[in-house]
Chains A and B, each alone.
Chain A
Amino acid sequence: MGAVSWLERLSRQHEVIARERIETRIVRIGRAYDNDIVLDDPHVAAHHLHVTRDVDGVWYAEDLGSLNGLRAAGSRLRVERLALRDGAIVQVGQTLLRMRDASDAVAAELPLMHPRPYWLYGIVAVVAACGLALLSQWLGETSEPKLIRYLSPLLALIAMIVLWVTGWAVFSRIFTGLARFGLHLAIAGTALLVVTLWDLAVTYGAFAFSATVLTGTVRAVAWAAFTLACYLHLRAFGRSGRPIKAGVALALGLLGFVTQSLNVAERRSEQGSAPVLERLAPPSLRLAPLEPREAFLDRAAGLRATLDEAREKQPVGGDDEASDPTE
């Protein structure tokens, strides 16, 4: 026949580690040096198997009486003989082998992609987020503006972003061989920008619309952004296992959100405070309509029923007595 075949040695992730050109009809494989292919795997016998090509051109792996035998990759079932067609993988000891025929189809050529300027976009997002944070700080400034009050949070923010992105890039490099710092920077920068923007919008939106409930959304938005960012970071590692990645990101985000919400609720209950608007804005930002004074007092009077109902309920949470009277 003279047809060329290739014997591929694969990693556990099924990436090709080595590829041997095969031009014979039989290939002997084992740990001994008289084999055609020598495997340095302690779980492989000296003469473990041979791979032969039958008249139809199909390759078969056959056990030569080894201790550990042959298995189809991913199966626990030991077999004497295994057909190696259509990219089937055989496990020999701890080594994975695959035969490729000259006639095997290969995937179409991918067009050459210009690397997207993710890093540029990432830097823009981070700079914008830092600018918003500084603006927010300046709008809340009530005493002499001091440079240090702007530099410290800025430095903290930048350090946090750099650490976070570097962490992902290092992981990415380890697992995929590509750091993709720019992509990770873009993901983290966008998440940060969304949260900062939302925080600023809510600070003044809650006042403008007289909607204190909005201030509670900052936490939710922050954790949603965190979840999405984690998912995108993980996805950048590769296309496999997306549901698992989404699940992990969602679980982390939910855990963070629930923990923080419970913390806030617990602190409220300990201090006996209710959520009210804490940050005022210039009167000209007001968009909510004015409530007539009597309507305001009526609404205030209406709280009485809620309070009387709460009176009947047992207090929740830990005992807050100052001290044991018998002390």
Chain B
Amino acid sequence: MFVLSPRARLLGIALALPCVPVGVGAQLPMPPSEASAEPAPPLTDAAERVYAAARPSLLQIRTLVEEAGRQSSIGSGFLVDPAGFAITNYHVVSQYVLEPATYRLEYVQPDGSTGALAVQAIDVANDLAVVRIEGTNLPHLAFDASATDGSLARGERIYAMGNPLDIGFTIVEGNWNGLVDRSYNDRVHFTGAINPGMSGGPAVTAAGTVVGVNVAKRLDGDLVSFLVPASKALALLERARTEPALDPTQARTEIDHQLLAWQDGFQHALLEQGLRPKRFGPYEAPETDAPWFNCWARTNAEQTPKPRARMNGSTCNSQSGLFVAEDIGSGEAELTHYHLRSDGLNAFQLAAFMSQYYASTTMAGSWSRKRHTPPECHEAFVAPADAERAPPLRAVWCARAYRDFDGLYDIALTTVTQDRDDEALVSRLALQGVSYDNALAFARRFIEGIAWAR
């Protein structure tokens, strides 16, 4: 899933949260080419009506560099309260929230009126923010009751609005396709064209009531877009109404709390779902059944020339990455296992072959000197708890801390079995933006799960 970049450079489309496995394009059956050539459904009277009704409530939200006074990113938003409360995405206002001294926010309405914006509340896990503009008795949109209780019918025609790529306010027709199955965070699958700059805009029914907030699209598909369910926005709005506004100087602490709480829930849910042993040759290793993980098989069997060692493995990664800033993510989890077996290599050569899989101890998410501390690693030969059941391991644990957020770390644990000369199991656990204790707890379960198959 990809968050729509608020930064509407015409070519650089999106901020990729790297939760899609590399090569997904090759692995997902692509729709036949005529599918994309299918004519768009004709614009109906309904769209005209919906847009006319919603127009006064729409906002374009610009993040300006304080010094230059020029926009550095754009997104959309919509008023939901006569007192000036409006909903947008957290990622639309994230630059300002993280660096309030460098940036400021401004809104532009379809009629050209502009003004300043204040951030009232944020919800990083659901990528939402409540902002406020000056004014009373402002036009605003209402939430749809059936959407917030989750009973909107699949296929229902809905309309997404916003200002894509800064070219003007736009309405897009599409279909409600219910909650995404493989997502830890609730996301609605919207089949319609959402483009950068529309982030934070409303998705409404024909009656003009809000059912979701534009948030992301898949770059490897056509018209596969995502909305945050309206219920999440309504909940955040209630919080913003009752609680004091977000103090810009305390924003990082607030994000820190939200991320810690979110990952705590995620890790517990993950362990609750349980790790089940999956067989790899003579070994077994833990995999997760959690539905929000996507698993892909890996093999080198079809390589030419025929490889002299076989690799069969699997990678499971969560589709739950959170956007925190353009160079910080959180919430990715990946479990990888490679069963490597010699097919003509001697013990030394197989060890060299294993090194290719073992040595890439990369973490989930990209490295940024500004955002992360340098990693610290501990490596050793590790004895099994029960020598009858499991082989000894060579293991390396690497961790790095987030500079901006206390208590959050990226960790990677890589192990390789040390019992045979002609085959081995290389396993890797990578967790992004976790608390150290949760990471250790998960790692213990992970290592415990590596054993000889019974």
A289 x B381 contact (CB < 8 A): yes
Using known A-B contacts A141-B349, A326-B68, determine if residue A291 contacts B383 with beta carbons closer than 8 Å. Answer: yes
Contact A288 B305 (CB under 8 A): no
Encode contact with A along B404-438: 1 for CB under 8 Å, 0 otherwise.
Answer: 00100100010010111100000000000000100
Q: Does B333 contact A (CB under 8 A)?
A: no
Q: Pick from A12-20, A62-70, A161-169, A297-305 the stretch touching chain B.
A: A297-305
Contact B355 A278 (CB under 8 A): yes
A42 within 8 A of B: no
For B376, the chain A residues whose CB sits under 8 A away are 274, 303, 306-307, 310
Chain A window 289-327, contacts with chain B (Cβ cutoff 8 Å), 1 for yes, 0 for no: 111110011011111101110110101010111100111
A298 to chain B, nearest CB (A): 9
A272 within 8 Å of B (CB atoms): yes
Q: How large is the interface on B (under 10, 10 to 19, 20 to 34, 35 or more residues)?
A: 35 or more
Which of B379, B385, B400, B418 is in CB contact (< 8 Å) with A212? B379
A210→B380 CA distance, assembly (Å): 6
Which residues does chain A contribute within 8 Å of B165, judged by CB atoms? none
Query: Residue-by-residue, is B377-402 near A (CB-CB < 8 Å gives 1, otherwise 0)?
Result: 11111111100000010111111111
* A140: Cβ under 8 A from any B Cβ: yes
Q: Let me know if A326 and B403 touch, CB within 8 A.
A: no
Q: Contacting chain A: which of B25-33, B211-219, B268-276, B362-370?
A: B362-370
Number of residue pairs across A and B with beta carbons under 8 Å? Answer: 174
Which of B113-121, B258-266, B280-288, B439-447 makes up part of the contact surface? B439-447
CB within 8 A of B394: which of A271, A280, A299, A325? A280
Q: Are B345 and A282 in contact (CB under 8 A)?
A: no
Question: Do A290 and B352 form a contact, CB below 8 Å, given A269-B369, A307-B399, A311-B373?
Answer: no
List chain A residues, Cβ under 8 A from B370. 315, 319-321
Q: Please tell me if the beta carbons of A280 and B354 are within 8 angstroms of each other in the complex.
A: yes
Identify which of A142, A292, A319 gathers the most chain B CB atoms within 10 Å of its CB. Answer: A142
The count of residues in chain A whose C-beta lies closer than 8 Å to any C-beta of chain B is: 56
B397 with A269: CB separation less than 8 A: no
**Which residues in B have their C-beta under 8 angstroms from that of A271?**
367
**B70 nearest CB neighbor, chain A only:** A326
Chain B residue nearest to A300 in the complex (CB) = B397
Alpha-carbon separation in the docked complex, A311 to B256 (Å): 14
**Identity of the chain A residue whose Cβ is nearest the Cβ of B309 in the assembled complex:** A142
User: Chain B residue with minimal CB distance to A299?
Assistant: B378
Q: How far is the CB of A313 from chain B (nearest CB, A)?
A: 8
Q: Find out whether the CB atom of B400 lies under 8 angstroms from the CB atom of A272.
A: yes
A283/B421 contact (C-beta < 8 A), A142-B309, A142-B349 known: yes
Contact across chains for A320 and B369 when beta carbons are under 8 A apart? yes
Q: Which of A273, A303, A319, A325 contacts B95 (CB 8 A)?
A: A325
Within 8 A of B (CB), among A252-303: 268-284, 286, 288-293, 296-297, 299-303
Query: In residues 313-359 of chain B, which contact A (Cβ within 8 Å)?
Result: 326-327, 345, 347-356, 358-359
Q: Give, as a whole number of angstroms, the nearest-CB distance from B296 to chain A.
A: 23
B308 sits at the interface (CB 8 A): yes
A103 at the interface (CB under 8 A from B): no
Minimum CB–CB distance from A69 to chain B (whole Å) comes to 69
Q: Are B368 and A310 closer than 8 Å at their CB atoms?
A: no
Asked if residues B399 and A292 are in contact (CB atoms below 8 Å), the reply is no
Cβ distance A271 to chain B, nearest Cβ, rounded Å: 7
**Is the Cβ of A269 less than 8 Å from the Cβ of B65?**
no
Q: Is chain B's binding surface mostly helix, strand, loop or mixed?
A: mixed
Report if A296-B369 is in contact (Cβ < 8 Å); known contacts: A272-B375, A280-B355, A325-B65: no
B369 touches A272 (CB 8 A): yes
8 Å CB interface, A214-260 against B: none
**Looking at the complex, which one of A142, A272, A281, A319 makes contact with B367 (CB distance below 8 Å)?**
A272
Answer whether residue B150 sits at the interface, using C-beta atoms and an 8 A cutoff. no
* Most B-side CB within 10 Å, residue of A268, A302, A315, A327: A315
Chain B residues with CB under 8 Å of A286's CB are 381, 418
A189 to chain B, nearest CB (A): 26
Pick the contact of B397 from A212, A292, A303 — CB < 8 Å? A303
- A292 in complex: contacting residue of B73, B383, B436, B443, CB < 8 Å: B383
Whether the pair A282, B348 counts as a contact (CB closer than 8 A) is yes
On whether the beta carbons of B399 and A303 are closer than 8 Å, the reply is yes
* Contact status A283-B396, CB under 8 Å: no
Contact A272 B374 (CB under 8 A): yes
- Rounded to whole angstroms, the CA-CA distance of A292 and B351 in the bound complex is 23
Asked if residues B381 and A210 are in contact (CB atoms below 8 Å), the reply is yes
**Cβ-closest chain A residue relative to B307:** A143
- Give the chain B neighbours of A281 by CB distance below 8 A: 348, 351
> Could you say which residues of chain A place their CB within 8 Å of the CB of B305?
143-144
Residue of A nearest to B305 (CB): A144
Contact for A307 among B307, B345, B400, B448, CB less than 8 A: B400
- Asked if A1 is at the interface of the complex by the 8 Å CB criterion, the answer is no
Nearest CB of B to A187, in Å: 32
- For the complex, what is the distance from the CA of A270 to the CA of B73, rounded to whole Å? 27
B348 partner residues in chain A, CB cutoff 8 A: 139-140, 281-282
B371 nearest CB across to chain A (Å):
9
Chain A residues near B368 (CB-CB < 8 A): 272, 320
B148 within 8 A of A: no
List B contacts of A143 (CB < 8 A): 305, 307-308
For B401, give the chain A residue with the smallest CB separation.
Answer: A307
Tell yes or no: B232 within 8 A of A by CB.
Answer: no
CA distance A308 to B373 in the complex (A): 9
- A321 closest partner in B (C-beta): B370
Q: Does B175 contact A (CB under 8 A)?
A: no
Are B440 and A297 in touch, CB under 8 angstroms?
A: yes
- Contact (A308, B401) CB under 8 Å given A271-B367, A280-B358, A282-B347: yes
- CB B346 to nearest CB in A, in angstroms, measures 8
In the complex with contacts A140-B352, A142-B349, A297-B443 CB distance below 8 A: yes
- The reply to whether B379 and A269 form a contact with Cβ atoms under 8 Å apart is no
Residue positions of A touching B, CB distance < 8 A: 138-144, 210, 212, 268-284, 286, 288-293, 296-297, 299-304, 306-308, 310-311, 313, 315, 317, 319-322, 325-327
A/B interface sample: 26 pairs, CB < 8 A: A139-B348, A140-B348, A142-B308, A144-B305, A210-B379, A271-B367, A276-B361, A276-B379, A276-B396, A277-B359, A280-B355, A290-B381, A290-B392, A292-B383, A293-B383, A293-B384, A293-B444, A293-B448, A297-B444, A307-B409, A310-B401, A311-B403, A313-B373, A320-B368, A320-B370, A326-B68
Besides A274-B375, A280-B355, 15 new A-B residue pairs in contact (Cβ under 8 A), listed by A number: A141-B352, A143-B308, A272-B372, A276-B361, A278-B359, A279-B351, A280-B394, A283-B418, A289-B381, A291-B380, A293-B444, A296-B378, A303-B376, A303-B377, A311-B402
The 6 closest A-B pairs by CB, nearest first: A272-B367, A290-B383, A282-B347, A310-B373, A307-B401, A283-B418
Q: Which residues of B contact A (CB under 8 A)?
A: 7, 9, 65, 68, 70, 72-73, 95, 305, 307-309, 326-327, 345, 347-356, 358-359, 361, 367-370, 372-385, 392, 394-403, 406, 409, 413, 416, 418-421, 436, 440, 443-444, 447-448
